[in-house]
Structure 1
Amino acid sequence: MGTKSVGLRRFHSATAAGLGMVAGAIAAVAAQRNALDVINRRLEQLEERAGNQQRANLAMQQRQHWELLSKAIDDPQLAEVLDIYKVPVNAQQRRQYLFANALYTNLLCYHRMGNITLDEFYKNARAIFQNPIVRDYWEATRDDRASLKGTEEAELGELIDDLLLQLDEADTDEWWVVGEPPTER
């Protein structure tokens, strides 16, 4: 009987030790999980800050772009610096093209900042490009856009090119129904 009692004690000791190890492992895993949760929350905060900073940088860039364009629109001599069009333009056309650039850039920045969806970008572009001067500007800057390959701006430019092709080929005067707005990426 003495042997049975010793065997049981060893079994209970081994079981208790095993349970202690399991409990310790569970506690360690829980502590690691808690640490990972804290790290994940911190990463989310940092990503949000980075996103806010990116939007702030884009807004500042748009403001600077508009200030430069405004100066060029108001001063024909400064506007000549921005005359990079593939066809010669007179002073009035140059001012109009600069304003068309401002309209498009504004729309582009609004989308990039997240203020409007891709669908809203498309619908606004469809309206802006009803104007023949804006279309002339777009054609005059085709070569400039070709240098943007692989960028988000190039993708949006191609979207506009496709839209303009659809508008030109449409059998309707109801331009607001032409084209299928793209799905969000």
Structure 2
Amino acid sequence: MATRNIGIQGLRSAAAAGLGMAAGALVAMAAQKQAMDTLHERLDQLEQHARTQQRSNLARQQRQHWELLSKAIDDPELAEVLDIFERPVTPERRRQYLFANALYTNLLCYYRIGNMGRDEFFKHVRGIFQNPIVREYWYATQQQRASLTGTEEAELGRLVDDLLLQLEEADTDEWWVVGEPPTDP
């Protein structure tokens, strides 16, 4: 009988040890899950900070771009530095092209920092490209855009090229209905 009691006590001790190990493993797993959740939360915060910093950098770059263009628009001698057009233009037309560049670049920046989606970008572009000088600017800078490949800016440039082709081929004077606005990726 004593042997039987020792065997039962041994089983009880083994069961208690097994339960203790299982409880310890559960505590360790819970702590590990907590640590992983904390790491994921921190990673999400860092990614959000990086996106915010990128938008801030783009906005700062846009501001600097506008300041440079403003100087060139105001000073014909500085504007000559930016004369990258495929054919000679008058100083007045150069100033207009520089302003057209500022308009387009502003839309591009708004899109890139997330202030508008691709659909809204398309609609704004469709509006500003109703102006013949803006279209003329676009065609005069075609070679510069051709050098942009594999970028978001190149993709948006092709979107504008396609839109202009559709506008030229349209059988309607209702330009605001020409072209199918793209969906955001």
Same fold, TM-score > 0.5, yes or no: yes
| 1:121 is the counterpart of 2:129 | no
Structure 1 stretch 20-29 or stretch 98-107: which is displaced more?
A: 20-29
Which aligned pairs between 1:124-139 and structure 2 lie closer than 5 A?
Answer: 124-139=124-139
**Distance across 2 between alignment mates of 1:35 and 1:158:** 46
Q: Deviation digits for residues 49-98 of structure 1, max 9, x if unmatched?
A: 11111111111111110011001111111111100011111111101100
Helix, strand or coil for the counterpart of 2:133?
Answer: helix
User: In structure 1, what residue type is equivalent to 2:175?
Assistant: W
State the partner residue of 2:78: 78
C-alpha distance after superposition, 1:79-125 (max 9, x if no partner): 11100011111111101100000000000000101111111111101
| Structure 1 counterpart SS, 2:57 | helix
The 3-state SS of whatever aligns with 1:9 is helix
Unaligned segments of structure 2, at least 5 residues: none
Q: What does residue 8 of structure 1 align with? A: 8
User: 2:67 & 2:153 partners in 1: Cα distance?
Assistant: 21
| Structure 1 gap segments, 5+ residues each | none
Match of 1:61 in 2: 61
Partners in 2 of 1:179 and 1:8 — Cα distance? 84
Aligned to 1:31: 31
Quote the residue 1:145 is aligned against: 145
1:158-173 to structure 2, matched below 5 A, reads 158-173=158-173
Structure 1 residue 19 displacement after superposition: 1.1
2:149 alignment partner, SS class: coil
Q: Which amino acid aligns with 1:159?
A: L
- Distance in 2, matches of 1:61 and 1:79, equals 19
In 2, Cα distance between equivalents of 1:126 and 1:38: 46
Q: How far has the Cα of 1:127 moved from its partner?
A: 0.5
Distance in 1 between residues matched to 2:144 and 2:40, nearest whole Å: 42
Q: Moved runs in structure 1, 4+ residues, more than 3 A?
A: none
State the identity %.
70
Amino acid at match of 1:170: A
How far does residue 4 in structure 1 lie from its aligned partner after superposition?
2.4
Give the aligned partner of residue 21 of structure 2.
21
- Partners of 2:161 and 2:4 lie apart in 1 by 89
Structure 1 residue 132, shift from structure 2 partner: 0.8
